Chain A
Amino acid sequence: MGDIRQSLLPRDVLSAAKELLYHLDIYICNLVQSGRQPPQVDTKTLELVEEFILHSPKDRNIQPRRMSALQELQLLEIMCSCFQEQSRDAVRQLMFSALFSLQGNQADESRMALLSKLVSMAVAVGRVPILECAATWLQRTHRVYCVRLARVLVDDYCSLVPGSVSTLQNIHSSSPRFCCQFITAVTTLYDLTTEDLTPPLELLQMIVSWLQDDPHLVLVTLLNTQLSGSQPISSLDLTPLGGLVRWCVKAPLAYRRDKKQVLTNGTAESEMEAGPLFSTLHLSVLQVLMLLPNILNEKGLFGRLALLQPETLATLTSDLSRLLDRADKHAHAGPASSHALSQLVLDRLAQALQVALANGALLCSREDLRAICSRLPHNNLLQLVMSGPVMYYDNIHTTPLMAFSPHSGHSPIASHPTHQPLASHPSPHPQYPAQPYLSTMPFPYRPNH
Chain B
Amino acid sequence: MSALKDCEFLVKRARELVSEDPCAAKAWLITARTLYPADFNIQYEMYTIERNAERTASAGRLLYDMFINFPDQPIVWREISVITGALRSDCQDKHALFLRGLFETLPGRVQCEMLLKATEQCFNTLEKAEMLLLLLKRFPESVVQHGVNLGETLLEAEVSESLETPVNCFRKLFVCEVLPLIINNVDMRLPASLLQKYILKAAEFYIGYVARGPSSDGQMQGAPEVGSLTSPGASRGPQRYVIDGLSEKSSMVVEPWERLLDILAVVGARCEWQGDKGQRSYVDMLQRVKELCRYLPSLEGETRSRCCSQVVICSVLVLFRSAFLYASTVQPALFQGLNVLSSGPWILLEDLSLVYSDVEVNRGPVKHAHKKRKMADGREKPMSSDDEEGLGKGRGRHILVNKAEMPGWSETLESFRTARESWDLLHSHESLETEFKKICASWKTDSWLWFRIFLTDMIIYQGQYRKALSSLHQMAAVQQPQPGQQSPSGQASLESSRALIQQASCHYALGEYRMACEKLLDVVSGLVPPTHEPVRTLEEQGKVKNKSRKGSDLRLLPCTSKAILPFCLQLMLACFKLRVFTDSRDDLSLGHVVVLLQHDWPQGESLFLKALEKICQQASFQYENFFNYVTNIDMLEEFAYLRTPEGGRIQLELLPNQGMLIKHHTVTRGITKGVKEDFRLAMERQVSRCGENLLGVLHRFCLNEKIMIIQSLP
A residues neighboring B (CB under 8 Å): 276, 279-280, 282-283, 286-287, 290, 347-348, 350-351, 354-355, 357-359, 380-381, 384-385, 387-390, 392-401, 404-406, 435-437, 441, 443-446, 448-449
Contacts and interface: CB of A to CB of B under 8 A. Distances in A.
Contacts of A401: 37-38, 69
Among B38, B65, B69, B72: residue with most chain A CB under 10 A: B38
B105 A351 contact: no
B192 interface: no
Contact of A398 (B1, B24, B38, B101): B38
Contacts of A290: 30
B26 interface: yes
Contacts of B1: 384, 387, 390
A446 to B, nearest CB: 6
A358 B31 CA distance: 9
A282 B105 contact: no
A282 B27 contact: yes
Contact of A358 (B34, B41, B104): B34
A287 B61 CA distance: 14
A280 B23 contact: yes
Contacts of A399: 70, 72
B254 interface: no
Contact of B38 (A282, A385, A393): A393
Nearest to B28: A351
Contacts of A350: 31
A389 B3 contact: yes
Contact of B27 (A348, A396, A397, A444): A348
A443 B64 contact: yes
Interface stretch (B4-12, B159-167, B465-473): B4-12
15 contacts: A279-B24, A290-B30, A348-B27, A351-B28, A380-B9, A390-B3, A394-B2, A394-B4, A395-B4, A395-B38, A397-B40, A397-B41, A436-B37, A446-B105, A449-B104
Given A279-B23, A279-B24, A389 B105 contact: no
Nearest to B8: A395
Among B4, B7, B34, B37: residue with most chain A CB under 10 A: B34
A169 B394 CA distance: 89
Nearest to B13: A381
A339 B288 CA distance: 91
B105 A448 contact: yes
A286 B31 contact: yes
Contact of B2 (A348, A355, A390): A390
A435 B37 contact: yes
B35 interface: yes
B34 A354 contact: yes
B73 A398 contact: yes
B30 A286 contact: yes
A397 B30 CA distance: 20
Contact of B39 (A282, A385, A395): A395
Shortest beta-carbon contacts, A-B, top 5: A358-B34, A390-B3, A283-B23, A351-B31, A398-B40
B451 interface: no
Contacts of A441: 65, 68
A404 B72 contact: no
B70 A355 contact: no
A399 to B, nearest CB: 7
Contacts of B69: 401, 437
B238 interface: no
Nearest to A400: B38
Contacts of B27: 279, 282-283, 286, 348, 351
B603 interface: no
B31 A355 contact: yes
B245 interface: no
Contact of B61 (A390, A436, A445): A445
Interface string B15-50: 000000101101110110011111111000000000
Contacts of A282: 23-24, 27
Given A286-B30, A381-B10, A399-B72, 6 more contacts: A280-B23, A283-B26, A384-B35, A385-B31, A398-B38, A448-B104
A348 to B, nearest CB: 7
Nearest to B39: A395
A56 B5 CA distance: 69
B107 interface: yes
Contact of A390 (B6, B13, B106): B6
Contacts of B101: 448
B635 interface: no
Among B1, B31, B36, B104: residue with most chain A CB under 10 A: B31
Given A380-B9, A394-B3, A448-B104, A389 B35 contact: yes
B107 A405 contact: no
Contact of B3 (A286, A357, A395): A395
A64 B658 CA distance: 155
B561 interface: no
B26 A437 contact: no
B56 interface: yes
Nearest to B101: A448
A263 B216 CA distance: 73
A314 to B, nearest CB: 21
B78 to A, nearest CB: 14
A446 B104 contact: yes
B250 to A, nearest CB: 23
A384 B6 contact: yes
A283 B69 CA distance: 24
B57 interface: yes
Contacts of A445: 57, 61, 105, 107
Contacts of B61: 443, 445
A437 B37 contact: yes
B21 A444 contact: no
Contacts of A449: 104
A355 B333 CA distance: 73
A449 B100 CA distance: 11
Nearest to A389: B35
A255 to B, nearest CB: 15
B39 A398 contact: yes
A448 B57 contact: yes
Interface in B517-570: none
Contacts of B13: 381
Nearest to A391: B3
A276 B31 contact: no
Contacts of A359: 34
Nearest to B30: A286
Nearest to B71: A399
B106 A351 contact: no
Contacts of A405: 37
A346 B72 CA distance: 37
B106 A446 contact: yes
Among B2, B24, B56, B68: residue with most chain A CB under 10 A: B24
Nearest to A279: B23
Contacts of B10: 381
